[in-house]
Structure 1
Amino acid sequence: MKIRVDIDSDLNETEIIIRAARYSKEVKQLTQNLQSLEEEEPLLVYKGMTKYYLKTETILFFETSARQLYVHTANDVYGIKARLYELEKTLPQKFLRVSKSAILNIDQIFALTHSVSSNLVQFQNSHKQIYVSRKYYKNLKERLEEREEER
């Protein structure tokens, strides 16, 4: 394995690129190790007058409704002062845009039901569910298949 470091003062954040002939256990382990090094800051969310700090692994999905952005966990809903497109850029790769108004945590998916009229995602340990638009369904399906291959 070769390791090369390029310093570029024009970059805003550190970028790590792994080049390999194929996706192997070594590449998978390296990717997981690098991801675990990056500490995720908890998201500041609100419920009433109370501020909460949520870890991203507890979040099922983000959804906009009536010009407000909401964060859904298994048992609660919080408000967040951000825009969906801003979150899309800053959230870890386990989050994926699934409609014009929603981003979900693919690690929390329990079931994906595909029918002629809709695509429905159900979450682990929760009654909550969300619809995936046709435009984003293919991307979600591919990401889930990639995860399956990794296991």
Structure 2
Amino acid sequence: MKITVDVDENYIENEVVIKCSEINEEIINLQKILSTRNAINTKIELYKNNVEFYEALENIIFFETDGDVVKAHTRNNIFETKNRLYELEQILPCYFCRISKSAIVNVKEIYSITKNITASSKIEFKNTHKNIFVSRGYFKPLKNKIDEIRSIT
């Protein structure tokens, strides 16, 4: 693979362009690595008691709906977001994964999954007491996402 860096002080914003003859596994993985790396410093607007907070996406362990409200959980806090889950799915980096109709999880923060064949499986997170459940229909896509993220990080 050929890598070229073009430096010009007139560029306003950094841009990465991938030129290829076809989309293959290597190109897809490269794109995922770059998009994940780019999302590290991305912050999301959250609310708590009428105060706006700007939290880094990497600090969010999961999003869940509670009635009409979507809540964002960090290890120690719970915030509200004005986004709906389907909107979040479109803007979140590739290390987030839908695990039920009412939740999206940060795959990089998963510590363990207690599998339950007849019901939802329990997900526990690093350095926190919080947990959430993955629906049976979303279990396989979650496992695939975990494997995918493990292979690119």
- TM beyond 0.5: yes
Equivalent positions of 1:2-151 (< 5 A) are 19-20=23-24, 31-33=32-34, 35-37=36-38, 40-116=41-117, 117-150=119-152
Letter in 2 for 1:121: I
Which amino acid in 2 is paired with 1:141?
K
Q: Structure 2 counterpart of 1:41, which letter?
A: T
Alpha-carbon separation, structure 2, partners of 1:51 and 1:92: 22
C-alpha RMSD of matched pairs (Å): 2.9
Normalising by structure 1, we get a TM-score of 0.77
Task: Find the residue that maps to 2:61 and give its secondary structure.
Answer: strand
Provide the aligned length of Structure 1 versus Structure 2: 138
Q: Could you tell me how far 1:35 is from its partner in structure 2? A: 3.8
After the TM superposition, which parts of structure 1 deviate over 4 Å for at least 4 consecutive aligned residues?
Answer: 14-18, 26-31, 37-40
Structure 1 segments unaligned to the other structure (5+ residues):
4-13
Q: Which amino acid aligns with 1:126?
A: T
CA distance in 2, matches of 1:75, 1:38: 22
Identity over the aligned pairs, expressed in percent?
A: 36
Deviation of 1:37 after TM superposition, in Å, equals: 4.2
- AA of the residue aligned to 1:98: I
- Distance (Å, rounded) in 2 between the aligned partners of 1:39 and 1:17: 24
TM-score, length basis structure 2: 0.76
How far does residue 115 in structure 1 lie from its aligned partner after superposition? 1.4
Deviates more, 1:115-124 or 1:140-149: 140-149
Sort the Cα spacing of 1:96 and 1:34 in 2 relative to 1 into closer, same or farther, 3 A.
closer
